[in-house]
């Protein structure tokens, strides 16, 4: 057997796809998820049902905030590596229920760090987000840029995760790699994300809410590209950067075993174009409700992936025309419409 990997958020969109790929290559995966009702629990259970049929997968229902259960799991399982994908997701929901983000993303993440520290985990890979770029306008977004101006609490908690991980990397020599994901989409995707919401509304002949009057740009990144990037980075254990200097500190690396990568398509697409591609795939036009930019949203995202290419030899490149078609095929198959 390969390595034993803890995947948190295993019933989630990225966690499900990653767990499947790790198992297929021979790793043992212990997946944890609290199956909360932030979105349709039946979709999470359907993903989980696919994993539970695979040899090499074990599921444990648990929250990251469980200060007794999580340390016990770490002691019992002795993981080689940990990929932390569990979090309270969503920019807009953070305006409504801020405490959910502190509980899951801050209190939960310290429990992950403590579990790794005390149980000789060889590499912690954790989900950050393109949201950390906040008020930055220099494009493309680079891991070497300062990211001290978040515009949502969700983004602030992800930036906090990066700082917390760096502290543990520095103090305890725990290798940590943070991944800033850019607008992930594809089969089994989240129902609160634009593609899912749009497809459902168009099929049901309801209008879609198009923010920033459709001028929003996003670096839409297909799920298979995200998973490939995560796996390659997980296999490359973070190491200190010998060129790092406190005189001119680089934010993407450290004198500790710590690294940050963007995983994005490196090709921003305007929201109106994204909708056109979806309309083509569905064979049906959308009724559009044009609205201004929402609080907490940013007008554009665009990933600089030079470091990812240099270090692991990979660049996401699935075009939206391909990715959206695959999503629509899955959606019609799963929901029978």
What is the rounded distance in angstroms from the CA atom of residue 40 to the CA atom of residue 248?
Answer: 46
Catalytic site residue from 154, 168, 185, 211:
154
Q: How many CB atoms lie within 10 A of CB 201?
A: 16
What is the rounded distance in angstroms from the CA atom of residue 308 to the CA atom of residue 272?
Answer: 29
336 secondary structure, DSSP code: T
Is 154 a residue of the active site?
A: yes
Q: What angle do CA 277, 305, 269 make, to 5 degrees?
A: 20
Contact 327, 187 (CB under 8 A): yes
DSSP per-residue letters across 231-289: HHHHHS-----TT--SSS--TT--SSSEEEEEES-S--EEHHHHHHHHHHHHTSPPPEE
DSSP per-residue letters across 18-39: HHHHHHHTT-EEEEEE---SSS
Contact 44, 33 (CB under 8 A): yes
Q: How many CB atoms lie within 10 A of CB 259?
A: 26
What is the rounded distance in angstroms from the CA atom of residue 106 to the CA atom of residue 256?
Answer: 21
What is the rounded distance in angstroms from the CA atom of residue 222 to the CA atom of residue 326?
Answer: 10
What is the rounded distance in angstroms from the CA atom of residue 131 to the CA atom of residue 153?
Answer: 10
By annotation, the residues acting in catalysis are 154
């Amino acid at each position: 057997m390969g390595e034993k990997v803890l995947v948190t958020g295993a019933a989630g969109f990225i966690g499900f796809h990653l767990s499947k790929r790790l198992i297929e290559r021979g790793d043992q995966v212990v997946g944890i998820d609290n199956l909360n009702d932030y979105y349709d629990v039946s979709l999470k259970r359907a993903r989980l049902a696919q994993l539970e049929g695979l040899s090499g997968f074990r599921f444990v229902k648990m929250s990251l905030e469980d200060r007794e259960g999580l340390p016990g799991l770490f002691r019992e399982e002795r993981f080689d590596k940990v990929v932390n994908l569990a979090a309270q997701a969503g920019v807009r929901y953070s305006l409504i229920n801020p405490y959910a983000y502190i509980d899951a993303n801050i209190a939960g993440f310290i429990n992950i760090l403590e579990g790794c520290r005390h149980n000789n985990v060889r590499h912690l890979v954790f989900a950050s987000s393109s949201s950390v770029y906040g008020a930055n306008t220099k494009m493309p977004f680079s891991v070497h840029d300062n990211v001290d101006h978040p515009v949502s609490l969700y983004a602030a908690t992800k930036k906090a995760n990066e700082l917390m991980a760096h502290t543990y990397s520095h103090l305890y020599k725990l290798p940590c790699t943070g991944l800033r994901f850019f607008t992930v989409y594809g089969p089994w995707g989240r129902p609160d994300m634009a593609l899912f919401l749009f497809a459902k509304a168009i099929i049901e002949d309801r209008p879609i809410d198009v923010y920033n009057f459709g001028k929003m740009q996003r670096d839409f990144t297909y799920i298979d590209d995200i998973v490939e990037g995560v796996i390659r980075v997980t296999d490359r254990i973070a190491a200190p950067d010998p060129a790092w200097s406190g005189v001119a500190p680089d934010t993407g690396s450290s004198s500790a075993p710590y690294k940050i990568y963007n995983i994005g398509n490196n090709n921003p697409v305007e929201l109106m174009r994204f909708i056109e591609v979806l309309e083509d795939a569905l064979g049906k036009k959308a009724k559009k409700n044009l609205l201004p930019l929402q609080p907490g949203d940013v007008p554009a995202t665009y990933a600089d992936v030079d470091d990812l290419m240099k270090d692991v030899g990979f660049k996401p490149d699935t075009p939206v025309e391909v990715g959206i078609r695959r999503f629509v095929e899955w959606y019609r198959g799963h929901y029978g419409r």
